[in-house]
Structure 1
Amino acid sequence: VGGSSGCSGQVELKHLGEWRPVDSFYWILEIASDSVRLMNGSSRCSGRLQVKTNPSDQSWSSVCEADLDLQDAQVVCRELGCGAPSVLQGALYGDVQTPTWSPEFQCGGHESALLDCRSSGSARSSCSPGKAAGLTCSGDEFRLVGGASRCAGSLELKYLGDQRPVADYFFMLKTAALMCEHLNCGCAVSLESTVVSVQSVWGIHPECVQSHSDLWSCVGSWSSSDTLKLTCSGMIC
Structure 2
Amino acid sequence: MILLSNSLQKFTFVSIPCTNILGVRLVSGPRCSGRVEVGQWGTVCGAYWDMRDAAVVCRELSCGDAVAAVHDAHFGPGAGPVLKGYANCKGSESTLNECFIRRNNAYCKSHAKDAGSLQKFTFVSIPCTNILGVRLVSGPHCSGRVEVLLGKTWTTVCDADFDQQDAEVVCRELGCGPLVEVLGAAAFGRGEGQVWTEELQCRGNESEIYSCETTSPLQHNCSHDNDVGLICSDSVRLVDGGSRCAGRVEVLHRGQWGTVCDAGWDMRDAAVVCRELDCGEAVDAVHNAHFGPGSGPIWMDNVTCSGSESTLKNCRSAGWGKHNCNQTNNVGIICSVRLVSGPRCSGRVEVLHGKTWTTVCDADFDQQDADVVCRELNCGPPVEVLGAAAFGRGEGQVWTEEIHCRGNESQIYSCETTSSLKHNCSHNNDVGLICSDQQGGGLLTVVILKMLE
Relative to structure 1, the CA distance from residue 203 to residue 96 in structure 2 (aligned partners, 3 Å threshold; closer, same or farther) is: farther
Structure 1: distance between partners of 2:202 and 2:307:
39
Instruction: Compute the displacement of 1:148 (Å).
Output: 4.1
Relative to structure 1, the CA distance from residue 111 to residue 130 in structure 2 (aligned partners, 3 Å threshold; closer, same or farther) is: same
SS at match of 1:38: strand
Instruction: Compute the displacement of 1:211 (Å).
Output: 5.3
- Unaligned runs of 5+ residues in structure 1 are 1-5, 8-33
Report the counterpart of residue 119 of structure 1 in structure 2.
214
SS at match of 2:231: strand
Q: Deviations over 1:101-139 (max 9, x none)?
A: 231234454555434444332269x9534422212335x
Bigger share in strand: 1
Q: Deviations over 1:51-93 (max 9, x none)?
A: 234xxx3433221212212233344345556565331113344
Report the counterpart of residue 231 of structure 1 in structure 2.
334
Q: 2:304 aligns with which of 206, 221, 224?
A: 206
How many correspondences in the alignment?
198
Q: What are the equivalent positions in structure 2 for 1:210-221 lying under 5 Å apart?
A: 210=307, 212-218=309-315, 220-221=319-320
Q: What are the equivalent positions in structure 2 for 1:1-237 lying under 5 Å apart?
A: 35-40=132-137, 41-43=139-141, 45-53=142-150, 57-80=151-174, 82=176, 84-90=178-184, 91-109=186-204, 113-122=208-217, 127-138=222-233, 140-194=234-288, 200-203=298-301, 205-207=303-305, 209-210=306-307, 212-218=309-315, 220-221=319-320, 222-225=322-325, 226-234=329-337, 236=376, 237=411
The amino acid across from 2:154 in the alignment is W
Structure 1: distance between partners of 2:257 and 2:311:
19
Report the counterpart of residue 110 of structure 2 in structure 1.
none
Relative to structure 1, the CA distance from residue 232 to residue 134 in structure 2 (aligned partners, 3 Å threshold; closer, same or farther) is: same
TM superposition score normalised by structure 2: 0.37
Q: CA RMSD in A?
A: 3.6
- Unaligned runs of 5+ residues in structure 2 are 1-49, 51-69, 71-130, 339-375, 377-410, 412-453
Contact 1:38 1:50 in 2 (8 A): yes
SS at match of 2:275: helix
Q: Deviations over 1:139-183 (max 9, x none)?
A: x43222222443322221223312111232333323322322333
Contact 1:204 1:218 in 2 (8 A): no
TM superposition score normalised by structure 1: 0.64
Runs of 4+ in 1 over 6 A off after TM superposition: none
Structure 2: distance between partners of 1:204 and 1:59:
39
Structure 2: distance between partners of 1:179 and 1:75:
24
Instruction: Tell which structure's C-alpha radius of gyration is larger.
Output: 2
